[in-house]
Chain A
Amino acid sequence: MLRILSSGPLSLVQDLGRYGYQNVGVTTGGPMDEHAFLWANRLLNNAPNDPQIEITLGQFHAEFTKSTMIAITGADMSPSINDIPIKAWQSYFINAGDKIKLNNAQTGLRSYLAIKDGFKAQPILNSCSTVTRDRLGGLKKNGDKLSDGDLLDYSETSHQIINRVPEKFIPNYTQQPLPLFVIPSYQYELFPKDQQSIFFSSTYTVSPQIDRMGYRLSGEKIKCRQPGIISEGIALGAIQIPADGQPIVLMRDRQTIGGYPKIGCLTNESVCRLAQCQPGSKVRFILKDLFQAEAEYSVESIFLKLNNGK
């Protein structure tokens, strides 16, 4: 068991998400930073969908009752095992009785704690991803976040080889302004040329209004020719421009349909990067070719989701 001594402000059980139910309004959930999540499972030779804990902001403290292998990826929260500092983006052997501690996020916002063969959580609608708003997933299947005293089961494992993520795949979370790549789509053509050029030449600030549903940004206002559209399906990373002209990027727990005009979508990689931004971070939007983005995401998906044949 992993006994949670301190869950911190927001720690959630996540797998890759809940797919196939958006037609009845159930959102996908899943890791806010899928890149970091998939690497953590890969470091342990896990199946890509094996459940992990997504730790937002930090202050997570827990004790292991059985030996196992773990990996931590994502934000730097000065992790330690038995108060001895360890590095993120690497796997570690854990003895029964070891204590893990993650402090405050120094850079980035969310860390992933993966364990050999995943935490055992009962799926609901084929996923254990926690979506609080839909009351789905997590340890109790009802959307509750993890809390102090919770016990998560896992398989006991003996020592295995240590893996580390190559340096070039570890994102630099301190980059400012962070370039975010935008695929022009949806109502892109409904934004006048001068509005498009404002959008792509300004620097935006991540506002304090950020959650797993969406990231509200502040900066130069953008105006669409139409204030609203006929409600339609919302893809991951869609950039909504509501009447106040301030962009909202829709993230993993987004609503399934909506009627605000959208200037395009962030690439999957940029969604992962934005998910690690704290309020006050600066970002810029850069146009990206759709098929270039597709090729890059496809290569990453094949590499990270088809590992070891699982």
Chain B
Amino acid sequence: MNIQPVNENTLIIYFSESIETAVADKIARVIPFLRQHLGSYIIDVIPSYTSILITIDLIKIGLREIINKITYFKSYIDALTIVNESYNEIIIPVYYGLEVAWDAENLTRHSSLPFEKIIEIHSTTVYRVYAIGFAPGFAYLGNTDPRIAIPRQSTPRMKVPAGSVAIADQQTAIYPRESPGGWQIIGRTPIELIDYQRENLCLFEMGALIRFQPITKEKFISLGGILNTSDSNLISSTKG
């Protein structure tokens, strides 16, 4: 654990120099601990793969003092052990049909596997939330099976539809909103990942476990899934 100030009211705690499951688990456990013990001083928290960024309320506490307090808890933080079993798996239904899997052709070409096999691999892996960012509710999920890992598009798309499930290298993610993006699209979920009106704002939190479940087109539509007009144009020309 390495604590470094970054500006007048912000510090970052590094837990590792490499991305590891154990580190993601650790961070997921440290956040509620810090909120419980030091929550009244904390304005904002940003967990990521190997670090936690913390913004403090300078009116209540100074940087040296908060660093001392976190350091005081070091042995407690070190003792927060990994309890994977304590997480439920969140099941995300995904329609993997070709009209929404815009990059099916890229994926089959790159992996030399039939698309059915790619779907099977993608939907039988349990993923972990390593970070949330880029856009509200955009969760970086790892790790994708190396057999279906694929680099990002060389030119990002201007518009990726909301709910698109996509792969980039050894990570997979769901686009919560229509946005630009360069990940390779494998399917689409009808589930709303983020809803500003909902009490449970975001479906995921750091460290959560996710599994994708293939569904039919009928099920996708009955769950509120939307097929865009551009989907039908793409099915014939499935480009790269």
Near A by CB (< 8 A), chain B positions 186-200 give: 194, 196
Q: Which residues of B contact A134 (CB under 8 A)?
A: 135-136
B200 to chain A, nearest CB (A): 10
Interface size, chain B (Cβ < 8 Å):
46
**Could you tell me the distance between the alpha carbons of A105 and B16 in the complex, rounded to whole angstroms?**
48
When C-beta atoms are compared, the residue in chain A nearest to B49 turns out to be A230
Query: Known contacts A22-B45, A233-B46; is A183 also within 8 Å of B194 by CB?
Result: no
Instruction: Please state if B7 and A24 are interface contacts (CB–CB under 8 Å).
Output: no
Q: Which of A155-163, A192-200, A240-248, A294-302 contacts B (4 or more CB under 8 A)?
A: A294-302
A263 to chain B, nearest CB (A): 11
Instruction: Please state if A24 and B136 are interface contacts (CB–CB under 8 Å).
Output: yes
When C-beta atoms are compared, the residue in chain B nearest to A305 turns out to be B59
Interface centre among A235, A267, A291, A294 (most CB of B within 10 A): A235
Instruction: Please state if B58 and A301 are interface contacts (CB–CB under 8 Å).
Output: yes
Instruction: Please state if A290 and B8 are interface contacts (CB–CB under 8 Å).
Output: yes
Query: Known contacts A22-B45, A24-B194, A183-B8; is A233 also within 8 Å of B52 by CB?
Result: yes
Q: Which of B90-98, B126-134, B152-160, B210-218 contacts A (4 or more CB under 8 A)?
A: B126-134
Contact with B along A256-268 (1 / 0, CB 8 A): 1110000001111
**Could you tell me the distance between the alpha carbons of A236 and B64 in the complex, rounded to whole angstroms?**
19
- Select which of B50, B135, B136 is within 8 A of A230 by beta carbon: B50
Instruction: Please state if A23 and B206 are interface contacts (CB–CB under 8 Å).
Output: yes
- Select which of B43, B52, B53, B136 is within 8 A of A25 by beta carbon: B136
**Could you tell me the distance between the alpha carbons of A242 and B90 in the complex, rounded to whole angstroms?**
36
**Could you tell me the distance between the alpha carbons of A210 and B201 in the complex, rounded to whole angstroms?**
30
Instruction: Please state if B205 and A23 are interface contacts (CB–CB under 8 Å).
Output: yes
Interface centre among A230, A237, A266 (most CB of B within 10 A): A230
Instruction: Please state if A297 and B10 are interface contacts (CB–CB under 8 Å).
Output: no
- CB of B89 within 8 A of chain A? no
B209 to chain A, nearest CB (A): 17
A81 to chain B, nearest CB (A): 35
Instruction: Please state if B19 and A267 are interface contacts (CB–CB under 8 Å).
Output: no
Instruction: Please state if B50 and A235 are interface contacts (CB–CB under 8 Å).
Output: no
Q: Which residues of A contact B164 (CB under 8 A)?
A: none
- CB of B226 within 8 A of chain A? no
Instruction: Please state if B58 and A294 are interface contacts (CB–CB under 8 Å).
Output: yes
Q: Which residues of B contact A238 (CB under 8 A)?
A: 6-7
**Could you tell me the distance between the alpha carbons of A266 and B62 in the complex, rounded to whole angstroms?**
18
- CB of B172 within 8 A of chain A? no
A285 to chain B, nearest CB (A): 14
Instruction: Please state if B7 and A25 are interface contacts (CB–CB under 8 Å).
Output: no
Q: Which residues of B contact A227 (CB under 8 A)?
A: none
Near A by CB (< 8 A), chain B positions 1-43 give: 4-10, 12, 17-19, 31, 43
Instruction: Please state if B7 and A267 are interface contacts (CB–CB under 8 Å).
Output: yes
When C-beta atoms are compared, the residue in chain B nearest to A265 turns out to be B7
- CB of A185 within 8 A of chain B? yes
- CB of B144 within 8 A of chain A? no
Query: Known contacts A186-B6, A233-B12, A298-B58; is A21 also within 8 Å of B201 by CB?
Result: yes
**Could you tell me the distance between the alpha carbons of A134 and B140 in the complex, rounded to whole angstroms?**
18
Instruction: Please state if A255 and B53 are interface contacts (CB–CB under 8 Å).
Output: no
- CB of B184 within 8 A of chain A? no
Instruction: Please state if B46 and A22 are interface contacts (CB–CB under 8 Å).
Output: yes
Query: Known contacts A257-B46, A305-B59; is A25 also within 8 Å of B9 by CB?
Result: no
Instruction: Please state if B137 and A24 are interface contacts (CB–CB under 8 Å).
Output: yes
- Select which of A22, A25, A185, A296 is within 8 A of B6 by beta carbon: A185
When C-beta atoms are compared, the residue in chain A nearest to B57 turns out to be A301
A48 to chain B, nearest CB (A): 10
Instruction: Please state if B50 and A25 are interface contacts (CB–CB under 8 Å).
Output: no
Q: Which residues of A contact B137 (CB under 8 A)?
A: 24-25
**Could you tell me the distance between the alpha carbons of A236 and B44 in the complex, rounded to whole angstroms?**
12
Instruction: Please state if B58 and A25 are interface contacts (CB–CB under 8 Å).
Output: no
Q: Which residues of A contact B136 (CB under 8 A)?
A: 21, 24-26, 134
- CB of A96 within 8 A of chain B? no
Instruction: Please state if B133 and A293 are interface contacts (CB–CB under 8 Å).
Output: no
Q: With A231-B140, A232-B46, A305-B59 given, can you name 5 additional A-B contacts, CB distance below 8 Å? A: A25-B134, A234-B46, A265-B10, A291-B63, A294-B58
Residues of B that sit less than 8 Å from A by CB:
4-10, 12, 17-19, 31, 43-53, 55, 58-59, 62-64, 131-138, 140, 177, 194, 196, 201-202, 204-206
Residues of A that sit less than 8 Å from B by CB:
19-26, 28, 124-125, 133-136, 183, 185-186, 230-238, 255-258, 265-268, 290-291, 293-294, 296-298, 301-302, 305-306
9 smallest A-B Cβ distances: which pairs? Answer: A233-B53, A233-B46, A257-B133, A24-B202, A265-B7, A235-B10, A297-B8, A185-B6, A256-B133
